[in-house]
Structure 1
Amino acid sequence: MTDATEVWLVRHGETEWSRDHRHTSTTDLPLTPVGEEAARALAPRLEGTRFDHVLTSPLQRARRTAELTGHLGAEVVPDLVEWGYGDYEGITTTEIRETVPGWTVWTHPTPGGETAADITLRLDRVLARLRGSQRFLVFGHGHALRALTARWLGLPVVEGRGFRLDTATVSVLGYERDTPVMLRWNA
């Protein structure tokens, strides 16, 4: 690895459910008008940076964010989908905690959804593509990108709980003296 390797992460713009704090994995929601405007506002921040590869989740909220930033030809990578929430799809953490006190996707089971081991396998496949001396741009989702970052840093996916990631933000992963690091976060 070289210090020139970078992985730019972009979380998709706002959807109705992200705005309302509802867990959204497989439900393929569009961006809200606010989310579309925020995605367009990312374009100047990405402009002028040459990316060797542009990857996106197959879900429309990530693909549309890529398009609105000027990256119409992004390669669709199924492994970049959001953490599968199973029975908790479409409901909030507050609602889940009414029956499972203290629940988080990071620390508790998700009935009918993915486990930390499942998402580790999936995101490690993505990481295998990202390691190298190139610059990548990746459009994805909150929990999955946080888990990917944890894996980039050599941590278990559950440590992604410490990396808040807002919609329509840019984060950058890279290296410092051959050590994987966060260069910029939630910007």
Structure 2
Amino acid sequence: MTTSRLLLVRHGHTDWAATRRHTGRTDVPLNAEGEARARDLAGLLPLDDVVAVWSSPLVRARRTAELAGLAVDEVLDDLVEWDYGWAEGRTTAEIREERPGWTVWDAPDPERETADEVGARVDRVIARARTLDGTVVLVAHAHLLRILGARWLGLPALVGRHLTLDPGGWALLGWERETPVIERWNVAAPG
């Protein structure tokens, strides 16, 4: 049986997140609140048996890791946020003016990545992490980490829609005997 666990850390606030704009591949930095939340993570994360720290290549994730006191071992392209295509930088409310009922989760659109395509990326990360004994820290983005939580449990990527993860929040994925479980979800530093 594997003894790997995943500690998921969502990057701190950005100006785009504050205005609820879909922030996928655009490399926006943390804002002052995001930097403060990332600093608050230092000393609060359960880092007892960390064997690796992997980060998205985007600056908001790498900076969160740095401010939280995490030394990134490897930057993984598979941890970059969902490619929203034409929805990048737009809010759901703006999009629904043109497309009533639209959601990022299941709206058909050949010009952007699907939830299942994000799921395939996180499946590779999970498979690699499960070869290690200890905790692997993943510093990345909201939608991607929500999908990763669903896939850890063996559920479809779309189940990620039911798991929220706040900026600067974290989650711990582990095991109950041979069953993958969510040990903690959406834990945030006080403040």
Normalised by the shorter chain, which TM-score bucket? over 0.9
- The equivalent of 2:146 in structure 1 is 146
Q: Cα deviations across residues 82-124 of structure 1 (Å, max 9, x unaligned)?
A: 0110000000011111111111111212452101232122111
TM-score when normalising by structure 1: 0.94
Quick check: 1:87–1:111 contact (8 Å CA) kept in 2? no
- Tell me the secondary structure at the aligned position of residue 186 of structure 1: strand
- Tell me the secondary structure at the aligned position of residue 7 of structure 2: strand
- The equivalent of 2:161 in structure 1 is 161
- The equivalent of 2:14 in structure 1 is 15
- Tell me the secondary structure at the aligned position of residue 98 of structure 2: coil
- Report whether the alignment pairs 1:108 with 2:110: no
Aligned-residue sequence identity (percent) comes to 52
Quick check: 1:87–1:110 contact (8 Å CA) kept in 2? no
Whole-Å separation in 2 of the counterparts to 1:72 and 1:134: 16
Moved more, 24-33 or 119-128: 119-128
Whole-Å separation in 1 of the counterparts to 2:184 and 2:83: 26
Alignment of 1:73-92 (within 5 A): 73-92=72-91
Q: Cα deviations across residues 39-83 of structure 1 (Å, max 9, x unaligned)?
A: 000011127523101000000000000000112333100000001
- Tell me the secondary structure at the aligned position of residue 98 of structure 1: helix
Quick check: 1:22–1:91 contact (8 Å CA) kept in 2? yes
Quick check: 1:88–1:111 contact (8 Å CA) kept in 2? no
- The equivalent of 1:186 in structure 2 is 186
Quick check: 2:8–2:140 contact (8 Å CA) kept in 1? yes
Quick check: 2:53–2:71 contact (8 Å CA) kept in 1? no
Alignment RMSD, CA only? 1.4
- The equivalent of 1:36 in structure 2 is 35
Quick check: 1:83–1:119 contact (8 Å CA) kept in 2? yes
TM-score when normalising by structure 2: 0.92
Whole-Å separation in 1 of the counterparts to 2:15 and 2:70: 23
Q: Which runs of 5+ in 2 are unaligned?
A: none
1:160, distance to aligned residue in structure 2 (A): 0.2
Whole-Å separation in 2 of the counterparts to 1:73 and 1:139: 9
